[in-house]
Amino acid sequence: MNYAFELDARKNWAKDVYAGYKSTKLRGPLRSAIRLHDSLAASLPTQAPIALITARDCDLTRHGAAEPQGQAITVSGRVVDEDGRAVSDSLVEIWQCNAAGRYAHEKDDHDAPLDPNFSGWGKCLTDSDGRYRFKTIKPGAYPWGNHENAWRPAHIHFSLFGNVYAQRLITQMYFPDDPLFPFDPIFNSVPDAAARQRMISQFSMDETIPGTSLGFTFDIVLRGRTATPTGM
């Protein structure tokens, strides 16, 4: 099952304890957050050296001897701060399972097949307008051990750094009209329905590459009232 990997991958992410999502009881914070002094937060490193990121890192389909299995997709969008200003040179990392619903990770022992041509991990920097773009494979749904007959909707994990350390965000991007939304306690641990919608990408014909990949857009807001919710 994928449950062990889910626990490992999201360690210390839980914003609070949510009864429907069992493992938050083990790692959801029980005390209030401590606010960092603004000068201290601004002094902490947030960006990766540009030399460590190459053009291949944003294309998850180019790291094997052949094309990976599954539906190729592009995922793109803008990263902005709470005032709507573009966040440039922000490190954006993604990770996901393959089209069969299995992660390339030693703790994922789900019996779905691994894809030798898909590692499921990528990174890029946003441009001057806060834009990012990845080419990847649409992930599959998979079972996990939270409760009887539990399945995770298709999703991609995102990790982002803003202009200061306090703008760090880890979230999950979902796909439109997934029938598993009503049954997923991680998705529903975000209490506000409008906020949950900010975690769902939008299909975009404009971002679709003819004969190659379907396109989805996913804009991300760091902090503020309209912030993209933290994915647990």
Does the active-site annotation cover 152?
Answer: yes
The residue written with tokens 């997923």 in the block is 184
- For this structure, is 131 an active site residue? no
Based on the residue annotation, tell me whether 174 is a catalytic residue of this protein: no
**Does the annotation mark 165 as catalytic?**
no
Residue 103 is among the residues annotated as catalytic for this protein: yes
Quote the CA–CA distance of 152 and 145 in Å, as a whole number: 10
Unique residue bearing structure tokens 């992410």: 13
* Set 18, 103, 132, 174: catalytic member: 103
In this structure, the strands spanning 150-152 and 220-222 are: unpaired
Of the listed 78, 102, 110, 152, which one is catalytic? 152
Say if residues 232 and 171 touch (Cβ distance below 8 Å). Answer: no
Which of 142, 147, 168, 225 does the annotation list as catalytic?
142
Using only C-alpha atoms, the chain has a radius of gyration, in whole angstroms, of 17
Give the Å distances, CA to CA, from 13 to 36, 39, 228: 18, 24, 14
* CB-based burial, 107-137: b 16+ in 10 Å, e otherwise: ebebebeebebbbbbbbbbbeeebebbbbbb
Residues identified as active-site: 103, 142, 152, 155, 157
